[in-house]
Amino acid sequence: MAARAMTFPVRRQALTGLWMPAASVARRSSFWSGTPEFYFAKEIDNSRLVKVADRKRNREMAMLAAVMSVFFLLVMTYAWQHFSSVEYGYQIETLKTQRDNLSELNKALHLEQASLRDPERIDMLARRMGLSSPQAGQMTQLDPAANDGGAPAIAQASEIAVVTLTR
């Protein structure tokens, strides 16, 4: 049986917005010719079929799986290295910023230390507290020659001068 396609009238939209039948439908015959065909779904039972093992196909699939696994590992290794390098870059920038901040702090502390060690400042603070320059005989010079290069020295008690301040 030859299958004949069923055609329905095609309508086109007129310029007025109304639907009008197409011109080709008017020329066709208005009666049905031929026998209508009906299609039924057929249940197919493939439970008795046995799949034959194709060794070549299995070997090809195993090779494809191995190649794809190696490719996946290579891509993951590349991605891991790339993201690690980006992370290390951020860490390096953070450490550089921290180093610069610590360098500025170190410079500020050296400047503060230099200003605190200024002999004029120390003399001015001492005079405000009522201290005066030492008199002759109040200072004792330590003899560096007495110590023979790192050998232990025994401490000695000497006369201690006690100064009292009265206001």
Q: What is the DSSP string of 44-104?
A: ---TT--PPP-HHHHHHHHHHHHHHHHHHHHHHHHHHHHHHHHHHHHHHHHHHHHHHHHHH
Longest dimension (CA), the chain: 145
CB atoms within 10 A of CB 25: 14
pLDDT in tens, 15-52: 555 555 555 544 555 566 778 778 888 888 888 888 88
In one letter, which amino acid is 162? V
Q: With CA atoms as reference, report the closest residue to 95 among 105, 84, 103, 83.
A: 103
The tens digit of pLDDT for each residue in 101-149 reads: 999 999 999 999 999 999 999 999 999 999 888 888 787 777 666 555 6
pTM score over 0.85: no
